[in-house]
A and B are shown apart, each in its own frame.
Chain A
Amino acid sequence: MAGSKREKRAGVKVKKAAGKTRSGKRRAGRRPGKAQAKGATGRRAGAGPRLAIIACTWHPLESIENAAREGYTYGPDILVLPVRCTGAVTVANILRLFAKGLEGVLVLGCKEGDCHYFNGSERCGEIIEETREILEWGGIAPERLGFTLISGSEGRNFEDALDAYMKDLKKTRGRRKRVA
């Protein structure tokens, strides 16, 4: 709703989707290594998919670090690349990461209205669209480029974003074989 940004400004708490524990306890099913266990490509023994997470240093990176502090670990082949603002992410750099043989790139920015530079994540959304088109031309499933906006730096936000992205990524696997 268009008023939501203002609601937040006015300090009205926006109710989060129900999550049972957020008291520092680890949630069942979020045990270390879950993501890696699920997505073995077999390309590198014992490792999960090779991914890069480009994370804005504000909400997303804080969320990633908080998740780690709460004991959440993710695939050992996932590299986190901090950027000051996702507005600086370029088509060229995303393509370079794919050219390095990574299976996926997940870009994490701040939610609209939370961007510290006002329009960074909005601008990044445009870049992602452009890049996905290019990926598609190249026969790479565009879903392999993930883009999620995170609001708030609770670790859980990152966990949810990564879980959702992993699911999307898994779906592309069959397709990828056909194209490549």
Chain B
Amino acid sequence: MADGPCGDERKAVKVGVVVCECGGEIKRSVDLAALEKGIAADPVVAGVFRINYPCSAKGLAAVGEAISKRGLSRMVIAGCSERLFGRLFREALSGFGIDPSFVGFANIRDGMAPGGAGGRKAGTAKALNLVRMAAASMAEALRVEVLEAGIKPLCLVLGGGVAGMAAAGAVATRGVKTVLVEKEKEPGGLLRSLNAVFPSYRRADEFIGAMLDEIAGDLVEMVTGAEVESVTGHVGNYEVTLTGGRKIEAGAIVVATGASVLSPDGLFGYGDNDIVVTQMEFEHMLEGDKQPGGKIVMIQCVGSRNPERPYCSRICCTASIKNTILLKERYPSAEVTILSRGFAEYAGDLDRARDMGVKIIRYTPERPPVVGGNSVEVFDTISGMETTIPCDLVVLAAPIVPSESTRALAAKLRLPTDEYGFLIEPQPKLRPGEFVPRGIYVAGSAHWPCTITEAVVQGYSAGSRAFDLINAGKVSKSAFVAGMEEDLCRGCSRCCEVCMHGAIEMVEAEDGMKRALHMPIQCTGCGVCVSVCPSGALSLKYATWRQVGSAIEAIV
């Protein structure tokens, strides 16, 4: 990639500057005549025009006239913020034959010095510097082309839990072929180990059955007992190899590989003390014919909301309350005490459980309950007293933790994970569930502990967005991205490690050396790779080394 325009493109470089008056706003802190003079003296600048409100229809016409009269090929708008008017000017000026990549901005209106003689002098100097920098940068700018990639009309859904099934259903009902890959022999995920589920109290296997009905049909192909072996390619065109050797070409990928439940070994005697079980095991006991216990103590937040795992696992309150209700419905004489650190707002049927006579005691992590052979001792923070509760069963609510399998998949797909190992999208608040611009979507507890309802909704959402992408038929975008000069690459792979958008892959070159392969269609243009590249092979196409360098040199 040439650093800076060359050949005819270089000869055609004629930078014009429009100085906006903004209805007298700018002259309060800038001496416009002096500014114009200063800009005209800059050898980079071919023409400077002062226009009141160039953003208006009249002003734009004046800009257009100036462009054609002077034969300008690149423009700098010195006025207000690019954020406000960047798009307007880029669109309007392309009507006058100026490529959007050749429109630059200098904000000489916001945050300028207040009026007064001294202030205006300094303000003018500042404005001049800003314009000189923008002009110098525009003179070196490269034409930014439009990138396009086709999209394979197939959606790959990884994980056959409720989230994955919902996603597959969302894609298939809209008529796009979907392959659902499940690691285990059967789909269903965690629900296969549950008894009945809140809020419907439907049996979990019934729920799985209903989800399976939703994806019945030709459009969803279920592959069980398989996992992802390797992935190559980019948005619109992934080649995924499954264990067993099958290759799938997919346009979009939904990751719904779920999470695990912590095994609370060593906590509250779990593993040594026979009367201590987990909520998961308790779900099974509830299915049996025998009453699991007469006096039951449940302990919440076991191994979560502590320094090692400070997060709330979000489903344990719901699960414990649900199991209590199921138990009390069947065995009304059973006594249940829940030791909690405070219930989550979405804790489910708390009131119903209370009405059924469940006792709730609040404990603090500073004085945790102590489990004995047939009783639990706890410091009740409300009464301020130590209480001993006789019991024959202790049920621990262990949290949802990231699964090894999801973590391994994240490494293969090069998806970012958070400090615990859950998948995290680059813009959790703005584009939840989406790995922009990768055509990869995440749903369910692979992302964060969630309820079934949430997992299903996230699955639908991920599926419909994957459909939108595939349905568009192609991805295209202006290449405000990084560029790569392969010859300069030494194959150190630092760029590949820091790129969170999977836009760089290490591939073997002809000489047997590993080289970075940059995939612009997936690049966000953030420039992180540029800052780590030791050999200058990578640069930003819209802000090249030369552009930034000459802008800095232009400061007077």
Q: Which residues on A are within 8 Å of B, measured CB to CB?
A: 1-3, 5-6, 8-9, 32-33, 36, 46-47, 57, 61-62, 64-65, 67-69, 72-85, 87-90, 93, 96-97, 100, 102, 113-120, 123-124, 127
Distance to closest chain A CB from B359 (angstroms): 29
Please give the distance in Å from B479's CB to the nearest CB on chain A. 13
Give the shortest distance, in Å, between A14 (CB) and chain B (any CB): 13
Q: Are A68 and B532 interface neighbours, CB within 8 A?
A: no
**9 A/B residue pairs, CB under 8 Å, sorted by A:** A57-B83, A75-B113, A80-B111, A81-B133, A82-B82, A90-B531, A113-B428, A119-B528, A123-B531
Contacting pair A32 B527 (CB below 8 A): no
For chain B, residues 124 to 166, give those with C-beta under 8 angstroms from any C-beta of chain A: 125-126, 129-130, 133
Are the C-beta atoms of A117 and B501 separated by less than 8 Å?
yes
Is there contact, CB below 8 Å, between A33 and B126? no
Q: Say if the beta carbon of B516 comes within 8 Å of chain A.
A: no
CA–CA, A123 to B500, complex, Å?
A: 11
Taking a contact as CB atoms closer than 8 A, the residue among B125, B311, B552 that contacts A96 in the complex is: B552
For residue B114, which residues in chain A have a CB less than 8 angstroms away from its CB?
32-33, 73
Q: Which of B83, B118, B430, B548 contacts A65 (CB 8 A)?
A: B83
Bound Cα distance from A74 to B111, whole angstroms: 6
Contact A73 B126 (CB under 8 A): no
**Chain B residue with minimal CB distance to A124?**
B531
Which B residues touch A124, using CB under 8 A? 531
Q: If A82-B82, A97-B552, A100-B555 touch, does A64 touch B426 (CB 8 Å cutoff)?
A: no
Evaluate contact between B121 and A2: CB separation under 8 angstroms: no
Q: Chain B: which residue is nearest A113 at the CB level?
A: B428
Given contacts A36-B122, A47-B125, A102-B555, 18 further A-B contacts (CB under 8 A): A6-B311, A9-B428, A36-B113, A46-B122, A64-B111, A72-B111, A75-B113, A76-B126, A79-B126, A79-B129, A79-B130, A79-B133, A84-B527, A85-B527, A88-B527, A117-B426, A119-B500, A123-B532
- Beta-carbon nearest neighbor of A91 in chain B: B531
* Contact of A32 (CB < 8 Å), options: B109, B113, B480: B113
CB distance from B417 to the nearest CB of A (A): 11
CB-defined contacts of B418 to chain A, threshold 8 Å? 5-6
Q: Are A87 and B528 in contact (CB under 8 A)?
A: yes
Chain B residues, CB < 8 A from A123? 498, 528, 531-532
Contact with A along B510-537 (1 / 0, CB 8 A): 0000000000000011111011100000
Q: How far is the CB of B80 from chain A (nearest CB, A)?
A: 9
A3 and B311 contacting across the interface, CB-CB below 8 Å: yes
- Is B333 in contact with chain A by the CB < 8 A criterion? no
Residue of A nearest to B556 (CB): A100
In the complex the two chains form, is B543's CB within 8 Å of A83's CB?
Answer: yes
Chain A CB count within 10 A is highest, among B427, B549, B553, for B427
Q: Which residues of B contact A97 (CB under 8 A)?
A: 552
Residue B112, interface by CB 8 Å: yes
Most-contacted residue by chain A among B109, B110, B418, B527 (CB, 10 A) = B527
Q: Are A65 and B110 in contact (CB under 8 A)?
A: yes
Cα of A68 to Cα of B548 in the assembled complex, Å: 25
Which residues on A sit within 8 Å (CB–CB) of B311? Answer: 3, 6
Whether A87 contacts B527 in the complex (CB less than 8 A), given A76-B126, A118-B500, comes out as yes
Q: Output the least CB separation between A85 and chain B (Å).
A: 4
Asked whether, in the complex, the Cβ of B133 is within 8 Å of the Cβ of A84, the reply is: no
The smallest beta-carbon distance between A24 and chain B, in angstroms, is 16
Is there an interface contact between B122 and A84, defined as CB atoms closer than 8 Å?
Answer: no
- Residues on A with C-beta less than 8 A from B480 are 84
Q: What CA separation (Å) do A114 and B133 show in the bound complex?
A: 29
Asked whether B405 is an interface residue with its Cβ less than 8 Å from the other chain, the reply is: no
CA distance A77 to B83 in the complex (A): 22
Among candidates B123, B532, B551, B555, residue contacting A76 with C-beta atoms closer than 8 Å: B123
Closest chain B CB from A107 CB (angstroms):
12
| Interface membership of B107, Cβ < 8 A | yes
| Pairwise interchain contact A73-B426, C-beta atoms closer than 8 A | no
Tell me if B426 and A118 are in contact (CB < 8 A): yes
List B residues 175-231 near A (Cβ within 8 Å): none
B469 at the interface (CB under 8 A from A): no
B487 contacts partner chain A, Cβ-Cβ < 8 Å: no
CA distance A1 to B109 in the complex (A): 40
Measured between beta carbons, the chain A residues less than 8 angstroms from B426 are 115-118
Interface centre among A47, A73, A76 (most CB of B within 10 A): A76
CB-CB < 8 A to A117: which residues of B? 426, 500-501, 524, 526, 528
**Which residues in B have their C-beta under 8 angstroms from that of A32?**
113-114
Q: Is B416 an interface residue (CB 8 A)?
A: yes
Those 10 A-B pairs whose CB atoms lie nearest each other, nearest first: A88-B527, A76-B122, A117-B526, A68-B110, A87-B528, A76-B113, A68-B111, A85-B526, A118-B500, A118-B426
Instruction: Name B554's closest neighbour in chain A (CB-CB).
Output: A100
A1–B540 alpha-carbon span in the complex (Å): 35
Q: How far is the CB of A122 from chain B (nearest CB, A)?
A: 9
Q: Is B7 an interface residue, CB under 8 A from the partner?
A: no
Min Cβ gap A7→B in Å is 9
**Contact A65/B81 with A33-B119, A88-B530, A96-B549 known, Cβ cut-off 8 Å:** yes
Report the bound CA distance from A146 to B109 in whole Å: 25
Give A115's nearest chain B residue, CB to CB. Answer: B426
Q: Which residues of A contact B125 (CB under 8 A)?
A: 47, 76-77
Q: Is B419 an interface residue (CB 8 A)?
A: yes
The answer to the question of B288 belonging to the interface, with a C-beta cut-off of 8 Å to chain A, is no
In the assembled complex, which residues on chain A have CB atoms less than 8 Å from the CB atom of B121? 46
**Alpha-carbon distance A103/B3, docked complex (angstroms):** 30
**Residues of A with C-beta under 8 A to B130:** 79-80
- B residues less than 8 Å from A114 (CB atoms): 429
Asked if B244 is an interface residue, CB under 8 A from chain A, the answer is no
Asked whether B83 lies within 8 Å of A62 as measured between CB atoms, the reply is yes
A76–B119 touching, CB < 8 Å: yes
